[in-house]
Structure 1
Amino acid sequence: MNQTVPPLPPPLPRRNAVAAFFIGLWDVMNFTRRLILNLLFFGLLFLLLAGLVAVAGMSAGGSKTLQDRTTLVLAPEGRLVEQFSADPVSRALSKAMGDTGSTEVQLRDFIRVIEAARDDKKVERVVLELDKLQPSGFASLREVAAALQDLRAQGKQVVAFSQSMSQSQYLLAAQADEIYLDPMGSVLLEGLGRYRQYFRTGLQDKLGVDVHLFKVGQYKSAAEPYVLDAASPQAKEADLFWMNDVWQRYLDDVAKARSLDAAQLAAGIDTLPEGIAAAGGDMAKFALQQKLVTALKTREEFDTLMTERGVADDDADGGFRNIGMSDYLAHIDARRNPVDARPQVAVVVASGEISGGDLPAGRIGGESTSALLREARDDDKVKAVVLRVDSPGGEVFASEQIRREVVALQAAGKPVVVSMGDLAASGGYWISMNADRIYADPSTITGSIGIFGMVPNVARSLDKIGVHTDGVGTTRFAGAFDITKPMDPAVGQVIQAVINKGYADFTGRVAEARNKSIEAVDEVAQGRVWSGAQAKERGLVDAFGGLKDAVADAADRAKLGKQDAYRVRYIEKPTTPFAQFVSGFAGSHAGAWMLGESGMARLMLARTMPEVDTQLRFVENAARDQGNGAPVKSLVYCFCGL
């Protein structure tokens, strides 16, 4: 039988080398894409399953049980802030990785834990370990110190231990009954200083950048580094005036807490070289001689002391029964009533620089912060509002947007009380001035009622490399604001007129809000910075007090009755369900272990951590981005932090 053999298919056309290369490259890209998608899918699936297991475990086991005779260990790590600047995912991942450099501690949480411990019969004593706390200013520290004083007044023992403390950390440690310092440690009080770099020579002489400064207020020194080589006499005069007031209060607070003499503390600083030399260069011994600490003990010796006073527990850190700050915070949160129909005093936090637009927490956006205030106005359960301000200021228009919302709240029949934190200056005062009452700590930094604008010009810089700008325009001012061309003096007149108008608006609004004449406001304005105590003497602040005092005042104005008749609610941007899931997973023991032992957290954190803004970046952005086509942007900003 004959068998027919099918014909062979024709040979494929031979690819040239270029086509073969691109086809091979495409195959590799497709394979890589599918691999990455599969890894992401299975990674997210694993996270979901692990999170469900962790949640189930937490539900089954419940929160950590608080036993009798427990020692509460307060060892906050990170910057003390009014409001978290990072989103929940970033915070949880940072914690899981042990990255303390970017962690933050909310002031409200710190105080809330201390206040809860004051009345908690199961908390026998409180241990303060403050070496990793990064304070921001003395006003917020004094609020924490006041809470610690109330704790001691209830008979709770407070003991502090440190390996080395800054003078800011020491202000809190001084509130303890006993302070123990490692024999190799130090506590050094040195006073307050404020020094900045000045760039005029580098910008103008070296680089050829001419910075044109337009301002009103002889003390408005925010932009001096760009046009001078050293601080002006007016800036030094104003800074030293409020700094001396804040420093003297610090000495008085420490002296009172430690039963010392403030003059003796000041003398110890003035004779610091002789004192340390007499102590043989031993900083710990010097601190002991100055009576800044009770005794010198190593960590092991301190833990032994706490074990003897408390309840021994071999499974606990330190060998004594204790609970940490985060666990205790979770414990008191678990006792909250999720359904609370009482009328509300809303707290809106305005923390950070003031800029236009919708900004994340930790910064103040003209639109985003205004939206939070509108939410309080539209919510029938909210009867009064406290605006907590901690800001050096920023853009004029964004500040005015927020001020208008404060006025709208008052027009709706809801009183607004401002509580100033460490800093409420310039634009920070702009958004505060219309409140029914303004509270500040005597060490708050406020005022700086002034305004400035800054325009860099790079014509000489370009000339150095042989680049020149030329062209034509249909009018005299077409292209006149181009920074690559030498500035026309007439343009300077226009800008200065805008700045003058801004200052008139600022002082005029302050005069109206504070029931003063414009002349009286101008006397305390001119861009000058004041401490809270100095501001109260000059009628810019109504009363001394912290957030608690402001809340009580707002509730009283709304006639809400005693403290248990209303609740305090923070109005903030809501957290997405995904962020809640990831932060909850990272906060679990399983999640913390997995993220801490892998590189996944570092990758995710790098993608979610917000950019850190600096004062220089703020000015740079403001100078570069005029926004909405406006050739001039007025700024109300104060470089007056410590």
Structure 2
Amino acid sequence: MTKLIKNLWYGLDLTRKIILNLVFFLLLFWMIAMIASTGDKPSVEKGVALVLQPQGYIVEQLTYRDPIEVATQEATGREEPPETSLYDLIDAIENAKDDNRITTLVISTRYLWGSGVTKLQDLAVAIKDFKESGKKVIAYDDNYTQGQYYFASLADEVYMGHQGGVFLTGFSRIGTYFKSLLDLVGVNVHVFKVGTYKSAVEPYIRDNMSEEAKEANKAWLGDLWGDFTQNIATHRSLEVDDISAYINDYKESLSTYKGDSAKLALEKGFVDKLMSRIEFRDYMIDLVGKDDDLRSFKQISHKSYLKAIRGPFPYVNPRTDKVAVIIAKGTIVNGNQKEGSIGGDTVSNLIRKARLNDKVKAIVLRVDSGGGSAFASEIIREELVKAQQDGIKVVASMGDVAASGGYWISATADEIWARPSTITGSIGIFGMLPTFEKPLNKYGIFRDGVGTTKYSNPVDTGLPLSQDVADIIQTGIDAGYEKFLQIVGEGRGMSRDQVDAVAQGRVWSGAQAHKLGLVDQLGSLNDAVKSAAALAGIEKYDTWYVKRKLSEQERLLTELFGNGDAKEQLAGYVNAPKQPGLKSKMLEQINASLRELDIWNDPKHAYANCFCSFQ
């Protein structure tokens, strides 16, 4: 027995030493990484070109990715779609305007997979301001997709490869529908909704888009496309009719030019000159000089530039008045969530953090969300109302999408700002519960039991949904819709019937919403911040982006394994993130429709959600 106790004690002591040593070395590695990172600050050489080369998708807020998972994915070649922060791009442009070390701005769209229209419009404002410094803006790519071309069209000079083309397609709203598949496997989808135009549930109860959904979608898509084409026409000194003719006559024009899409784009005024990569590199070397190490022109990426001009830690002056900016991006779900989703508790805590800071005089809620949980949406809105009661002005600024739950959390703000191309409205609510008793029974799996009341097990996905429970859920959905109408009416100064007339789940463009009174002003986030300061009566203030504080474990892992952001690229075009192929795109479209079901966790199964993405 004595020997056994000694062995156990020896084992415990050894385990303790191993754990302590492991913690020690982890902390040591972290300190080394911190020291190395502070000493690895890039320098900005005089006369360089600032290269904007966004990778993947331009987003309001970078999605949090577990550093260990990211490192594992990189090792196995299974990387998530990269993201580039919109505000990093804008910050780099704004600083470079007055930086005499930066002579030129180069736009490279090669690794840009996609961006919402409002984000491109925000970039357009920053680039227009940059041009006022007298510095040149140049764009180059081998080929331009529609979104890439909008970004490139902001430049003074647009160049393209000899084998390229500018392919503009217009906007579309295409969904994936599962009704026949669900019928085939015997899944019962129980739907509860209010709103003629509330089409978020259609993929599960139809095999095609309803006429009501088509009507609404055509209206807002038309508004967005009109705004998009007018912007390009202005950037390139073209007429909107020129763009329409280019698209509608593309097949015939391409035949006339014997399939030379690059020459067609050049002749129609969409690009200024055709250049190979070698020719463009030589052109830029003549313009800004040569970097022998890169074997290319003198350049710095926007990420390296920001690293060079920013301090190692963000600083918030405790003595100045502030306009707090809180970003709400993603699907609204209950509880705490990391960046990429809007957790009702997470965003409420950020609002509370700003509200309890006596230097915060106004809060701007930046919304980029199609909605989600009605319960979580109300938790967020209630915290904003409390801030208003405490004398803090609240302004909502809408990005690409602020619809359904995204509109819910915005509705009672003192002022609502949107872009004409914002997708908003969708004032409606629905519930959906699938049950799988038929496919389970088919394979010999049955569920049965007893309870103390008829509601002891109200929702069981392996049993049929009782009519009583269905009636209870529908009553809750009806009440939720009335609550939504009440909230919008109070915030917008409208009667219940006036709100109902523009609600019913219908989606509107920002321009239409402005005319209908659902939006107060049209403009950017910067416009909203200035307006919030004016409403609060402050002239001198700092803009404070209120963010979730990383845990000690998250900070340690981030330093050890990297932050999970997309790898930095220069204009040398190396180690490019691979764009998804046709098979991957098809699977992603299907997965995107099903992925929403995984994160729906509203306690009453009531959702204010708008599946209003487009391409």
Are 2:33 and 1:51 equivalent residues in the alignment?
yes
Shift of 1:108: 1.1
Are 2:550 and 1:575 equivalent residues in the alignment?
yes
Shift of 1:391: 0.6
Superposed counterparts of 1:544-563, under 5 Å = 544-561=522-539
Are 2:110 and 1:127 equivalent residues in the alignment?
no
For 2:274, which of 282, 291, 296 is the aligned residue?
Answer: 296
For 2:520, which of 529, 539, 542 is the aligned residue?
Answer: 542
Go from structure 1 to structure 2 and tell me whether the alpha carbon gap of 1:578 and 1:487 turns closer, same or farther (over 3 Å shift): closer
Shift of 1:296: 1.2
For 1:376, which of 342, 345, 354 is the aligned residue?
Answer: 354
Identity of aligned residues (%): 41
Show the counterpart of 1:19: none
Are 2:183 and 1:201 equivalent residues in the alignment?
no
Indicate if the aligned counterparts of 1:391 and 1:423 stay in contact, CA closer than 8 A: yes
Shift of 1:475: 4.2
Cα offsets for 1:175-213 (capped at 9, x unmatched): 101111111223210111111111111101x10111111
Indicate if the aligned counterparts of 2:38 and 2:312 stay in contact, CA closer than 8 A: no
Shift of 1:48: 4.3
| Residues in 2 aligned to 1:50 and 1:156: alpha-carbon distance in whole angstroms | 40
Superposed counterparts of 1:173-572, under 5 Å = 173-204=152-183, 206-315=184-293, 317=294, 319-334=296-311, 338=315, 340=317, 341-561=319-539, 565-572=540-547
TM-score (norm. length: structure 2): 0.87
For 1:104, which of 83, 91, 94 is the aligned residue?
Answer: 83
| Residues in 2 aligned to 1:283 and 1:368: alpha-carbon distance in whole angstroms | 49
| Residues in 2 aligned to 1:441 and 1:214: alpha-carbon distance in whole angstroms | 32
| Residues in 1 aligned to 2:306 and 2:72: alpha-carbon distance in whole angstroms | 19
Q: Which amino acid aligns with 1:634?
A: A
Question: How many residue pairs align between the two structures?
Answer: 577
| Residues in 1 aligned to 2:439 and 2:384: alpha-carbon distance in whole angstroms | 45
More divergent stretch after superposition (106-115 vs 282-291): 282-291
Are 2:611 and 1:639 equivalent residues in the alignment?
yes
Go from structure 1 to structure 2 and tell me whether the alpha carbon gap of 1:446 and 1:496 turns closer, same or farther (over 3 Å shift): same
Indicate if the aligned counterparts of 2:166 and 2:261 stay in contact, CA closer than 8 A: yes
| Residues in 1 aligned to 2:413 and 2:132: alpha-carbon distance in whole angstroms | 33
TM-score (norm. length: structure 1): 0.83
Shift of 1:83: 1.1
Indicate if the aligned counterparts of 1:94 and 1:103 stay in contact, CA closer than 8 A: no
| Residues in 1 aligned to 2:522 and 2:451: alpha-carbon distance in whole angstroms | 57
Unaligned residue ranges in structure 1 (runs of 5+): 1-28, 594-611
- SS for the counterpart of 1:492 is helix
Q: Which amino acid aligns with 2:176?
A: Q
| Residues in 2 aligned to 1:577 and 1:480: alpha-carbon distance in whole angstroms | 41
Shift of 1:148: 1.1
Go from structure 1 to structure 2 and tell me whether the alpha carbon gap of 1:290 and 1:251 turns closer, same or farther (over 3 Å shift): same
Q: What CA RMSD, in Å, does the superposition of the two structures yield over aligned residues?
A: 3.1
Q: Which amino acid aligns with 1:544?
A: L
Shift of 1:147: 1.1
Indicate if the aligned counterparts of 1:441 and 1:533 stay in contact, CA closer than 8 A: yes
- SS for the counterpart of 1:432 is coil
Shift of 1:302: 0.5
- SS for the counterpart of 1:380 is coil
More divergent stretch after superposition (468-477 vs 527-536): 468-477
| Residues in 2 aligned to 1:580 and 1:462: alpha-carbon distance in whole angstroms | 45
Go from structure 1 to structure 2 and tell me whether the alpha carbon gap of 1:94 and 1:73 turns closer, same or farther (over 3 Å shift): farther
| Residues in 1 aligned to 2:166 and 2:97: alpha-carbon distance in whole angstroms | 28
- SS for the counterpart of 1:334 is coil
Shift of 1:154: 2.8
| Residues in 2 aligned to 1:386 and 1:91: alpha-carbon distance in whole angstroms | 33
Indicate if the aligned counterparts of 1:54 and 1:585 stay in contact, CA closer than 8 A: no
Go from structure 1 to structure 2 and tell me whether the alpha carbon gap of 1:88 and 1:157 turns closer, same or farther (over 3 Å shift): farther
Go from structure 1 to structure 2 and tell me whether the alpha carbon gap of 1:153 and 1:224 turns closer, same or farther (over 3 Å shift): same
Q: Which amino acid aligns with 1:509?
A: I
- SS for the counterpart of 2:158 is strand
- SS for the counterpart of 1:349 is strand
